[in-house]
Amino acid sequence: MRAVVLDGPGSIRVDTRPDPQLSGPDDVIVAVTAAGICGSDLHFYDGEYPFAESVALGHEAVGTVVEAGPQVRTVGVGDLVMVSSVAGCGSCPGCATRDPVMCFSGPRIFGSGALGGAQADLLAVPAADFQVLTIPDGITTEQALLLTDNLATGWAAARRADIPFGGTVAVIGLGAVGLCALRSAVMQGAAKVFAVDRVDGRRQRAAAWGATALTPPATEAILAATGGRGADSVIDAVATDASLTDALTAVRPGGTVSVVGVHDLKPFPLPALNCLLRSITLRLTTAPVQRTWPELIPLLLSGRLDVDGIFTTALPLDDAATGYAIAGSRSGDDVKILLTP
């Protein structure tokens, strides 16, 4: 099969690798029909995370089940499914919460070495009854891909931001996760959303969805717009030192900062005393992907939650290097790349 492989910073190629095999009776093999390039993939691509050998990339996939172990109950050969980006064992008390991060064996992420990469012709999925879901009629390929990671992450970010009905929210970073968080914040009760990004095109995209667009650092502008009080909630979908500092200073006393951006490997100098004196709640999370599906799918099917326009470019798998170069440019025209094996 073909698989997108990273050999080193900025070095992407499509490799030929052995087809994956079932490793357990509850596994499935999925023939991938669409895969997404995620901002998290860019941390490897940009050289922020070290790795010892070539990595098969990708953790966002939808496709057709082509082989299933004898203990798989919920899906079968021929079913069109989406695959959670984060995997758990599926049988422990932690996984019973439908949050793979709580897995007692530890969560695993596709495309990070522990499991195969989703940007490939085929993907082996363990504990399939926990990891995969048949795509309901009416859910598009793009929506299903967002449900595997970005939309689930943006939704969880808003959930954990303690947004009061009628409240004010700032979203820092307007990539796919940030835009999903913006739409989720409105769905969860925000009356006003500040959308913060360095890229003009991304700010314009958020403004078209009704947000007030700001250039970072945005603390002064947010304080001015809120009478010096600050935003009730801040969602940081970037998690650099600069964005975290902006988030912690732009939130009101007693407010919540919800972080879903991926920080680098260096410690962040947390202004702990300032947070203490202002009673700030700080939450950091990866998405409880499976837990979000019962909430998000009905909202998408009803049309109440709109995520159209987040995927901006579709390319064949063989053009993955071009896709990564586009994603790595972080332009205003291109937000999220879809690869089609």
Contact criterion met (CB below 8 Å) for 292 and 156: yes
Beta bridge partners, 338, equal 36, 314
CATH of segment(s) 2-149+288-339:
3.90.180.10
> For 107-120, how does the pLDDT look when each residue is reduced to its tens digit (9 = 90+)?
999 998 779 999 99
> For 4-26, how does the pLDDT look when each residue is reduced to its tens digit (9 = 90+)?
999 999 999 999 999 999 999 99
Residue 3: pLDDT over 90:
yes
Q: Residue 190 has which token pair?
A: 């925000």
In the block, residue with structure tokens 């004010």? 168
CA distance 201 to 181: 17
Contact criterion met (CB below 8 Å) for 62 and 83: yes
- Pick from 48-52, 162-166, 317-321: least confident: 48-52
Contacts of 140 (CB under 8 A, 6+ apart): none
Contact criterion met (CB below 8 Å) for 4 and 38: no
Confidence of residue 49 (pLDDT cuts 50, 70, 90): confident
Q: Return residue ranges of the chain for CATH 3.90.180.10.
A: 2-149+288-339
Across the range 69-94, mean pLDDT stands at: 97
Per-residue DSSP letter, 218: -
Contact criterion met (CB below 8 Å) for 83 and 125: yes
Across the range 232-247, mean pLDDT stands at: 98
Across the range 156-183, mean pLDDT stands at: 98
The overall average pLDDT reported for the chain is: 96
CA distance 133 to 46: 32
Q: Which CATH superfamily is domain 152-284 in?
A: NAD(P)-binding Rossmann-like Domain (3.40.50.720)
Contact criterion met (CB below 8 Å) for 202 and 216: no
Contact criterion met (CB below 8 Å) for 181 and 235: yes
H or E stretch covering 275: helix 272-277
Q: Return residue ranges of the chain for CATH 3.40.50.720.
A: 152-284
Across the range 130-147, mean pLDDT stands at: 98
Across the range 55-83, mean pLDDT stands at: 97
